[in-house]
């Protein structure tokens, strides 16, 4: 607390990202990054942009990238927005579409940044409890007087996926407010709600290059929706910072969307590793949610998640532990390479006495 802080600053509860330790080399299974490098074509494109043009501002309208992203999904540029990571787009969306006089509906267990942004914008959360199996109770996501809905699909950190039909039901139940579907993990086995944009002008779908395209360090995200929603995002962006994407990010992101073959290759690998590791963990007595993401959400009745987390950390493997009601006996484990996951499995077996 400082006497120089505004009341807003003093009231905030900032998001705490997964640790990025510098003290030693860990196997990092704690922030859902890709274990694989970005496409070589992306690195080449970024290198090609390292030149004296950096003295010039980047294109504030991000035309080339918007063109590439809209064409990739069969949409028009008027239905497409790009931002400095999907977190930035979420921040813009909260400001653009949600009214502080009405509560914002989201799950009690979900991406923790939603609560942080709600606080920042003075929005009251209307929390919907996940069911006993940690699934999204679709029938609870409606009502009178709420100002919007936000849901990650697959949900984080539970990794569970809603079908496209379920998303359609959600939209039918919420015709008069904006429904944001945060698809950070959709490429690992889900079906994108982008297919529904033509039918629902209140649907905003947010995606990112951070997870499935191995570009968390480049900071590029997308939003897709009706032209009026995209206009709303642009109004906020241009009242805040016109140059959210730099020249290197703009070039690298276009190249990422063009290398479909590499994208397919690394997502297929992550999915295959996920299925193999999930099966082995179940064999060890873990409850493993039905993950369609690049991480597993696991729990063991006989071993406290916090102890496993600390023991793994001690042995050089970082996973994520959330000291939060209902999920404080769970670990979120990002999918690494097969070698990394074998190390994780071996240590886990040792700890629970299954060697
Ligand atoms: C990782 C993640 C994001 C943020 O992604 P960036 O594009 O890197 O900002 C947004 N939503 C969810 C649910 C995530 O897990």
Counting atoms of ligand 1 from 1, which one is nearest the CA of 111?
A: 13
Q: pLDDT band at residue 355, thresholds of 50, 70 and 90?
A: low
156 lines ligand 1 (CB under 6 A): yes
Closest CA to 346 of 310, 316, 301: 316
> According to CATH, what is the number of the domain 7-37+261-351?
3.90.1150.10
- Residues forming a β-bridge with 178: 148
Q: Say if residues 293 and 243 touch (Cβ distance below 8 Å).
A: no
Q: Which atom, in ligand 1's list, is nearest to the CA of 89?
A: 9
**Beta-carbon count within 10 A of 142 CB:** 17
Q: How far is CA 164 from the centre of its chain?
A: 18
Confidence bin at 15 (pLDDT 50/70/90): confident
User: CA 113 to CA 32: how far, in whole Å?
Assistant: 15
CATH 3.90.1150.10 range(s) for the chain read 7-37+261-351
Q: What is the pTM of this model?
A: 0.96
Q: Tell me the best of 18, 20, 87, 91 to mutate to test the pocket of ligand 1, counting ligand atoms within 8 Å of each CB and taking the most.
A: 87
Tens of pLDDT, residues 242-290:
999 999 999 999 999 999 999 999 999 999 999 999 999 999 999 999 9
Q: Within the chain, which residue ranges are assigned CATH 3.40.640.10? A: 40-259
Tell the residue number behind the tokens 């069969």, with chain if given: 74
Query: Which ligand 1 atom lies nearest to the CA of residue 152?
Result: 13
CB of 112 closer than 6 angstroms to any ligand 1 atom: no
- Residue 307: per-residue pLDDT: 97
Task: Give the number of residues written for the chain.
Answer: 355
Q: Is the CB of 111 under 6 A from ligand 1?
A: yes
Closest CA to 157 of 31, 280, 269, 282: 31
CATH no. of 40-259? 3.40.640.10
Pocket lining: 295 vs ligand 1, CB cutoff 6 Å:
no
| pLDDT given for residue 324 in this prediction | 92
């Amino acid at each position: 607390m400082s006497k120089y802080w505004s009341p807003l600053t003093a009231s905030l509860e900032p998001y705490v990202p997964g640790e990025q330790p510098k003290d030693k080399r860990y196997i990092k299974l704690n922030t859902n990054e890709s274990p694989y490098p970005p496409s070589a074509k992306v690195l080449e494109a970024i290198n090609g942009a390292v030149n004296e043009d950096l003295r010039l501002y980047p294109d504030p309208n991000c035309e080339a990238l918007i063109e590439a992203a809209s064409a990739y999904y069969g949409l028009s540029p008027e239905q497409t927005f790009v931002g400095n990571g999907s977190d930035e787009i979420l921040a813009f969306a909260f400001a653009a579409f949600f009214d502080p006089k009405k509560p914002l509906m989201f799950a009690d267990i979900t991406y923790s940044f939603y609560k942080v942004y709600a606080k920042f914008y003075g929005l009251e959360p209307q929390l919907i409890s996940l069911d006993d199996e940690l699934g999204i109770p679709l029938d609870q996501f409606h009502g009178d007087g709420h100002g919007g809905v936000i849901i990650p699909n697959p949900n984080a950190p539970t990794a569970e996926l809603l079908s496209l039909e379920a998303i359609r039901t959600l939209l039918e139940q919420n015709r008069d407010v904006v429904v944001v579907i945060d698809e950070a993990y959709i490429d690992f086995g889900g079906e994108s709600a982008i297919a529904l944009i033509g039918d629902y002008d209140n649907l905003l779908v947010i995606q990112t290059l951070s997870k499935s395209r191995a570009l968390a360090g480049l900071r590029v995200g997308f939003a897709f929706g009706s032209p009026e929603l995209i206009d709303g995002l642009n109004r906020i962006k241009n009242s805040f910072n016109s140059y959210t994407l730099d020249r290197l990010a703009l070039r690298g992101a276009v190249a990422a969307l063009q290398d479909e073959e590499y994208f397919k290759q690394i997502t297929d690998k992550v999915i295959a590793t996920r299925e193999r590791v999930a099966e082995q963990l179940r064999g060890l007595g873990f409850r493993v949610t039905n993950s369609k993401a690049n991480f597993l959400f696991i729990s063991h009745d006989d071993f406290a998640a916090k102890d496993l987390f600390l023991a793994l950390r001690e042995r050089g493997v970082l996973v994520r532990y959330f000291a939060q009601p209902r999920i404080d006996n769970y670990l979120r484990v990002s999918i690494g390479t097969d070698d990394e996951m074998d190390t994780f499995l071996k240590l886990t077996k040792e700890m629970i006495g299954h060697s």
